[in-house]
Structure 1
Amino acid sequence: MKVLVTGGAGFIGANFVRSTVAERPDTTVTVLDALTYAASRSSVEGLAGVRLVEGDVADADLVDALVAEADLVVHFAAESHNDNSLVTPWPFVHTNLVGTFTLLEAVRRHKKRYHHISTDEVFGDLELDDPGRFNELTPYNPSSPYSSTKAGSDLLVRAWVRSFGLEATISNCSNNYGPFQHVEKFIPRQITNVIDGVRPRLYGTGENVRDWIHVADHNAAVWTIIERGRIGETYLIGADGEMNNVSVIRLVLELMGQDPDAFDHVTDRPGHDLRYAIDPTRLRGELGWEPRFTSFRDGLEDTIAWYRSHESWWRDAKETTEQRYRAAGEQIRG
């Protein structure tokens, strides 16, 4: 099988590429990635059976040529950091909407199988005391330029399935953590701060709840959907990993041998969603998928060990990231 993976040098995509060639030796992978700051050549370069093409997913000629060669297209490419979307929304429109449209048109022309990677953030948020969880029938209610453009890309896929008979599936996943995640993101930022002797930073009170899943489990679920999912269907991917942000920081500090209260509060970001929670009943019941990392603590220990042993991978991005936070006006609260 020949697989085209867009965004395959980014966090989740790179892990998908690495697990694919490791577990499916008869598969070759072409990675299309714009290699923005959030991607890294070193995440996939040199892997047997992998070709890296630098380019924009909105480049129609390039996308058409690469889709024509593939049997399967898996679309990870996205601008994905909420903070950045609040400062400069246009790249999110360009990549998440225009890029998805460009890809769908190529897939339609060449009649290829397509899987679309999305996020639980398209559903908006839940109240902290709401016992419910997101499922496949939850209405979309995005709250940021990031989540709204991802919601729009999902709707494009659904329209192309209905209008043009595209052979496509969609997955919406909860918050990922694990190896190769950029240090601007919540968990790797805290881990690398502790490594550098800097106190972790927490938005607001830290009561916001996220539903965490190890990236390896996410990607295993994606392959399950590709191989067993029903065309035209959406599947939610989650591992029952709800935890509020202050508890995550305290667990990071504990696992790294620090005082669990040795962190600083910073001014909350605008429109900060309260709680995400995934109901993965359809994925587990229909397709038989189960996560390997059933303990968030175990998955976090695995992730901390990776960042400690791969400093050369993240070091260059660290100072640039912290400068960007300072420029955005991040202020420690007294």
Structure 2
Amino acid sequence: MSHILVTGGAGFIGANFVLDWLRQEGADGIVNADKLTYAGNRKSLAAVEGDVRHIFSQTDICDAAAVTRLLESHRPRAVLHFAAESHVDRSIHGPVDFVQTNVVGTFTLLEAVLAYWRALDAPSRAAFRFLHVSTDEVFGSLCPADPPFSETSPYQPNSPYSASKAASDHMVRAYHHTYGLPVLTTNCSNNYGPFHFPEKLIPLMITSALAGKPLPVYGDGLNVRDWLYVGDHCAAIREVLARGRPGETYNVGGWNEKTNLEVVHALCDMLDALKPKASGSYRDQIVFVKDRPGHDRRYAIDASKLARELGWKPAETFETGLRKTVQWYLHNQDWVQDVLSGEYRHWVAKQYAA
């Protein structure tokens, strides 16, 4: 069986990709390397426990020797790099972890992959791909009338998180330009869906609403994001891996610009319909809190290159994707309660204390 190597495959997007990949008929096996930090969860992979096509390894991408062993043992035909520290709020309080994982970790992985790729025979070297999963946040903030980000938009990161991801993007690009490593980069908009760690906006609102807690909205709630259902993102990555041109970047977006307040209102209204309270609306729990430092006002993605070159378009609208997400959280409360550890509760209380 041929394999692909996935880094960060126990995180939100990585785990969804692993599960989605293995549902495809005739799919390669997956070697799943994840450090299992606070956001990595083996229980998200319960559906493939015991599946011979899925090999899990608790591995830190900063450990060069461990990464090299995985490459040499399993001989993957591609590496898909999801592993990253990804939460802006945490990067403001503790940027060192973001530099270590996103910058040093990506560099360490690239070095190991380059050595592995160079040692392959000519046909295997030609077929090999390194796909780097990144974010639209590297492009900075848009004004209301600005056009959406394209693949040629200048990098203007504004948080320690986005700066660390920008650095990793540049390293990936450099390894293609300098060494010829066949890389692909995707920059996605805000993902949502099953298995999302509940410190990000949508799962935080769902879990807090159901617990009867305040729903904290930063500032005036009018910051705009483009929302992408995670299953659509996984499908886009499969297309880029299969048919993307080495050295190219592809933006992946949902064509769903919404203010944070619009998202929270939509969630409350959906919960009112699917799991109504004894009295009142979940909207009654909304509270406005002090804004995040350096909070980018608007992101928007132009995903037309991906549609034009590879024929990908999102299958879900914001409404259908949100309904699937809310229903998943309602039906998987055991997973949610397991994630809501003491450490997580303390972090949320500290973050939104004001």
Does TM, normalized by the shorter one, top 0.5? yes
Secondary structure of the residue aligned to 2:349 is helix
Normalising by structure 1, report the TM-score: 0.96
Question: What's the CA shift for 1:325?
Answer: 2.3
Match of 2:353 in 1: 330
Match of 2:322 in 1: 300
**In the alignment, does 2:179 pair up with 1:193?**
no
Match of 1:35 in 2: 36
Gaps of 5+ in 2: 118-127, 273-280
Aligned equivalents of 1:307 and 1:47: distance in 2? 25
Secondary structure of the residue aligned to 1:260 is helix
Q: Is the 8 A contact 2:271 2:282 kept in 1?
A: no
- Residue of 96, 99, 102 corresponding to 1:90: 96
Question: What's the CA shift for 1:26?
Answer: 3.7
- Residue of 175, 182, 185 corresponding to 1:170: 185
Aligned equivalents of 1:259 and 1:180: distance in 2? 22
Question: What's the CA shift for 1:238?
Answer: 0.6
Q: Is the 8 A contact 1:253 1:262 kept in 2?
A: no
Judged with a 3 Å threshold, the aligned counterparts in structure 2 of structure 1 residues 230 and 155 are, in CA distance, closer, same or farther, namely: same
Alignment of 1:300-319 (within 5 A): 300-318=322-340
**In the alignment, does 2:60 pair up with 1:56?**
yes
Stretch moving more, 20-29 or 160-169? 20-29
Question: What's the CA shift for 1:323?
Answer: 1.7
Secondary structure of the residue aligned to 2:38 is coil
Match of 1:157 in 2: 172
Q: Is the 8 A contact 2:213 2:285 kept in 1?
A: no
Match of 2:124 in 1: none
For this pair of structures, how many residues does the alignment match? 329
**Structure 1 residue ranges (4+ consecutive) displaced by more than 3 angstroms after TM superposition:** 259-262
Question: What's the CA shift for 1:43?
Answer: 1.2
Paired AA for residue 130 in structure 1:
A
Match of 2:306 in 1: 283
Paired AA for residue 58 in structure 2:
E
Alignment of 1:58-207 (within 5 A): 58-68=62-72, 69-111=75-117, 112-127=128-143, 129-207=144-222
Normalising by structure 2, report the TM-score: 0.90
Q: Is the 8 A contact 1:122 1:142 kept in 2?
A: yes
Aligned equivalents of 1:47 and 1:91: distance in 2? 32
Q: CA RMSD in A?
A: 1.2
Aligned equivalents of 1:21 and 1:306: distance in 2? 20
Stretch moving more, 248-257 or 195-204? 195-204
Judged with a 3 Å threshold, the aligned counterparts in structure 2 of structure 1 residues 47 and 82 are, in CA distance, closer, same or farther, namely: farther
Gaps of 5+ in 1: none
Paired AA for residue 80 in structure 1:
S
Q: Is the 8 A contact 2:212 2:285 kept in 1?
A: no
Provide Cα deviations, 1:18-61, integer angstroms capped at 9, x if missing partner. 01011144411011001011010111240521111002111000
Q: Percent identity?
A: 44
Paired AA for residue 160 in structure 2:
P
Q: Is the 8 A contact 2:289 2:352 kept in 1?
A: no
